[in-house]
Amino acid sequence: MHNLRARRWANVAAVYAFLLLLSIVFMGPFVFAFLSSLKDNPTEWPPSLLINQLRPVNWGASYRLAKQGGGNGFLGGMGPGGSIEFEVTYWTPEGQEPAPPEVVIPRRVQGAPPRRWP
Amino acid sequence: MRRASSKVGEKLAPYVLLAPFLFTLIVFFGYAFVRVVYFSFTTYDLFSKPEWVGLKNYVNIFRDLDFTRAMKNSLTFMVVVTTAQTIIALLLALLLNQKVRGIRFFRAAYYMPSVASSVVVTLIFIWFFQRRGVLNFVITKFKEYQAIILLFLFAAAAIHIVLVVWEKLRRRPVSVFEPSFMFLGVLIGFIVAFGAVRFGFLVPREVPPVDIIWFNTTKTWPDFLGSLAFPIPLGAIMLFNIWTTAPTFMLLYLAGLQDIPRELYEAAAVDGAEGWHIILHIIAPQLKPITFLVVTMGLIGTLQMFDQVAILGSQAPRSSVITLAYYIYSNLFPSSAVPRVGMASAAAMFLALLTFIIVYAQRKVLGEEGENA
């Protein structure tokens, strides 16, 4: 009796496993296309299911930066006198001393049009 | 008098009700058909007057290399896609005919490719089939993990066979495809493969990214078929055409399966039939009218295949993907040449005749039950 019940559950599990596997075949391309539509570069190689825009860590980081820059975590922007954290990771050839990067944010004069960067 | 007028009204009523449909049929189908028949015997370029040339267009289409390629591509497409989509649709319907919780979700999920617009689906697939696309990535990964996948499959099959043989030796009734044994086999196979990787017996191979050109190529496949081999871009179109059409036919088969009387299954069970016997002797004969419908719709649909080739456009060489319907369109609306309406009409007439002959032959092959469909 116990054996029969176990086999019945295993049968149900096999059917569900098969159904789920085929769901990937029929739904997979749509899901992948949708997720890729959120990426900066949908044709990246190798393709990945990790979407930076969907990672809560990045939401938190962007909220913090927006808060530091403009005082409003949701709307962002850069206000005068704001101080924001700047983190960068870069590679240098082996044996070469990494030079600390320097970032210059041009000072805006009131009324001047925003500078267009190349 | 009143009785006579009411009789006339009664007789006229069906024609009045049918009039809008008859009008559409006569103007857009009947008149158009007669015009196409006439144009097929003329040279006409949409600008000057048509000139009668007799059967010249019918002779010329067979001298046109594009037409013979289109015919070969269309026939290959018809045979491969109709066969594959019919078998896959039946298997999907059998799977989705289970009485398990949440089956409606799976039915809706599987039907998605048929609901989506063919433009959307084609664009997704063009993106998938790029040289640096998802499909080549999946094949690369398969090559990387080939040994591990083979170990998993071997272990799963071995466990399954051992369990079935063990049960048979104990004289217990068990199907060769017992799902619970399959599940157990897959589970143990996964553990074996995972263990082999975890303890360093097997490691993924380093392979360069697979670089199959799916669209921009004139290569054919499979090589051993010689002149019967089909162009690789046409194969790619076949793949995603099967993916979009199989769910539609699955729905027809599912409706047919649910119409089979329960008593037939019960009687078969009493007689000791199970598994393949039920499929071959109960389900297949009962679904014959549905199969007739599915195959007929499949043949007509595949012979008229146009949209996916048109959307693919210049992504693939014309000779590799051209079908009869696209040949007709490209003669009627060439990108930088004078329209050849006569040739297009002759090809259209040939396609109509070919479709008629194939569907008629199929009706003869499927027999009397099919004719009731």
| Per-residue pLDDT tens digits for B304-331 | 999 989 988 888 999 999 999 999 999 9
The whole-angstrom separation of Cα B359 and Cα B117 is 27
The verdict on a CB contact (< 8 Å) between B134 and A32 is: yes
Across residues A53-72, what is the average pLDDT? 88
Looking at A94-103, B237-246, B285-294, which range is the least confident one? Answer: A94-103
Give residue-wise pLDDT tens across range B199-257. 989 899 999 989 889 998 989 888 888 878 889 999 999 998 999 999 999 999 999 99
For residue B133, what are the contacts with CB-CB under 8 A and spacing of at least 6? Answer: A43, A47, B127, B214
Regarding predicted confidence, which is higher, B190 or B271? B190
Confidence (pLDDT) at B278: 86
Higher pLDDT, B329 or B4: B329
Are B347 and B328 in contact by the 8 Å Cβ rule? The answer is yes
Which of the two residues, A108 and B115, has the higher pLDDT score? B115
**Across B135-151, average pLDDT:** 94
A14 in B contact zone (CB under 8 Å): yes
Say yes or no: A24 contacts chain B, CB-CB below 8 A.
Answer: no
pLDDT > 90? residue A44: no
Question: Are A7 and B209 in contact (CB < 8 Å)?
Answer: no
- Give the separation between CA B316 and CA B123, rounded to whole angstroms: 14
Percent of chain A with pLDDT over 90: 18
- Taking the C-alpha atoms of residue A101 and residue A112, their distance in angstroms, rounded to an integer, is 28
pLDDT at B233: 93
**Tokens, residue B246:** 């199989």
Fold of the CATH domain B59-145+204-371: MetI-like fold (1.10.3720)
Token reading at B360: 């008629």
- Residue that the structure tokens 């490719």 belong to: B113
Which tokens in the block code for residue B186? 């897959």
**Yes or no, beta carbons of A15 and B100 under 8 Å apart:** yes
CA A94/CA B196 separation, integer angstroms: 36
Residue matched to tokens 């949209």:
B307
The verdict on a CB contact (< 8 Å) between A11 and B112 is no
Q: Which 3 state secondary structure label does DSSP give B43?
A: strand
Is B72 a residue whose pLDDT tops 60?
yes
Integer Cα distance of B179 and B187 in angstroms: 12
Cα B245 vs. chain centroid, distance in angstroms? 5
Confidence of residue A118 (pLDDT cuts 50, 70, 90): very low
Q: Determine the Cα–Cα distance for residues B334 and B340; give it in Å rounded to an integer.
A: 8
What's residue B146's pLDDT? 94
**Least confident range of B40-54, B79-93, B180-194, B260-274:** B260-274
B169-175: Cβ within 8 A, 24+ apart: B173/B274, B175/B274, B175/B275
Given a cut of 80, is residue B373 above it in pLDDT? no
Nearest CA in chain B to A37: B124
Mean per-residue pLDDT over chain A, rounded: 82
- Reference B109, options A24, A35, A37; nearest CA is A24
**Spatial separation of the C-alpha atoms in residues A26 and A5, rounded to whole Å:** 32
For an interface test with A, the pick among B123, B124, B174, B180 (most A C-beta atoms closer than 10 Å) comes out as: B180
What count of Cα atoms within 13 Å lies in the side-chain half-sphere of residue A1? 0
Over residues B71-91, mean pLDDT: 95
**For testing contact with chain B, the best of A45, A48, A49 (most B CBs within 10 A):** A45
Decide which of A113 and B150 is more confident: B150
How many CB atoms neighbour CB B313 within 10 A? 10
Number of Cβ within a 10 Å radius of residue B113: 23
pLDDT classification of B52: cutoffs 50, 70, 90: very high
